[in-house]
Structure 1
């Protein structure tokens, strides 16, 4: 499922709000062929994620498909996308998989179950204290969760309908809301090139910003 980018979190009680982690979307598959980890585009990255694959093999289930985000954290404990690529090659032992959904378990297709039920099963499946961790829902209304996430320096939140089933592709049942900083700057010019959109040149207190 691909969350749609929106400007404001949804209202009401029928939503779960999670941290938007800045990493690589990943599916962990365990079946008769063992454990494999796949990228968003279906590429097998098990070799790159060897430590996570080994840990996934200890999860007590015969088969599963777990969906999550592979991340690496900075000294503040926040996911750091810019450090992720080098961490994969130089320090793969520092990677985490934050698991947020469960599509199959022990031969059963769970995609028609409500999100709330899928996540309850997933949470019970993930052992505490490892490099594979459950993505906890943040308590509170969407606007309050979004405000606190931005205050904490997070990338944003993902809001998901609690009664939603899992369907691949873009959907408004999952919505991502990114944090941003507003700042007024001076327009100092416009750059035009043939065949390209015009670009506004900005400055802040006389200093060129881009």
Structure 2
């Protein structure tokens, strides 16, 4: 009598099903770093927040908004296949570094976009800072310190498209001061004992380095609110002329928006002070300057996230930002 062959049992299902998408934990903006040994500090990278999903036979790159950008990040996808694990979800930031080793959002936009760029998509680096899922186990309920202990041996020491976002062992205030002196965007503080929770959370904090300079006001765009401005049009000095560096649409009250429009309507320009084709632009003589706080410069020479802080007359003693420096 023939023996019946034993059937191989099916593989056991994973302890935790792998989610198709995880809404990211988002840091809350605060004015200064927290104190205490329960906080870990990292560089705040200026790029695209991504989740890299590694599954058997598939790697997906998902943006903060839930879009599949796998095709845009070929070098990250290729390296993720070589990390030695069948399934995982890594949280991090895609960046392009400038010549000083700082993340530059403008360079990243150009590298990812369709316009010609000096930076190739292969120059994009994914800085991994959290591990949400690993080989059948959902790690989101585990403390940050444990999640990073598991992430570190997977990505630390790599110098290619995927790298480890190192913790900086320093006093938060000292680290923030040094980061700003180096021209970084800011720092991130995270509670070591906190689980991973989606959406904006107090367990993750961001402290930004802001730049502040003075720019010439060359006009405005009207607001939908009657008799008010919607955006200030700003320029910097270059040689003997002025160059448009972007519009600023925040930082004033409703009353100030009306007052600013009255000031600019009193000094209409006989001809545009800058080369700018923008529908709805109303040009003024470049007699006033605005003090503006902003994050950085984009690759095409515009202010990133500018915020109005005050206005004054353009006098010789007022130092206007120059692109020649």
Q: Which residue of 2 aligns with 1:153?
A: 183
Is residue 2:291 matched to residue 1:201?
A: no
State the alpha-carbon separation in 2 of the partners of residues 50 and 19 from structure 1: 25
Q: 1:100 aligns with which of 121, 129, 153?
A: 129
Residue 89 of structure 2: aligned partner:
65
Alignment match, 2:108:
84
Shift of 1:87: 1.0
Within 5 Å, give how 1:19-98 maps onto structure 2: 19-89=43-113, 91-98=120-127
Indicate the SS of the match to 1:159: strand
1:166-181 to structure 2, matched below 5 A, reads 166-181=196-211
Pairwise CA distance, 1:206 = 4.0
Aligned to 2:174: 144
Q: Distance in 2 between matches of 1:166 and 1:57?
A: 24
Counterparts of residues 107-122 of structure 1 (less than 5 Å):
107-122=136-151
Q: Which runs of 5+ in 1 are unaligned?
A: none
After superposing the two structures, state which structure 1 stretch, 156-165 or 138-147, moved more. 138-147
Deviation digits for residues 71-127 of structure 1 (CA, Å, limit 9, x no counterpart):
001111100101111112451110100000000000100001110110111011115
Q: What is the CA-CA distance between 1:33 and the residue it aligns to?
A: 4.6
CA pair 34-7 structure 1, distance change in 2 beyond 3 A: same
Greater gyration radius: 2
Superposed, which structure 2 residues align to 1:115-134 within 5 Å?
115-126=144-155, 128-134=158-164
Q: CA RMSD in A?
A: 2.4
Q: Partners of 2:64 and 2:72 in 1: how far apart?
A: 15
Instruction: Please give the alpha-carbon distance, in whole angstroms, between the structure 2 residues aligned to 1:181 and 1:94.
Output: 27
CA distance in 2 between partners of 1:99 and 1:149 (Å): 19
Deviation at residue 19 of structure 1 after TM alignment: 0.2
Corresponding position: 1:8 with 2:3: no
Change (3 A) 1:207 1:142: closer
- Match for 2:165 among 135, 145, 156? 135
Aligned residues: 207
Structure 2: 5+ residue stretches without partners: 1-24, 231-253, 261-309
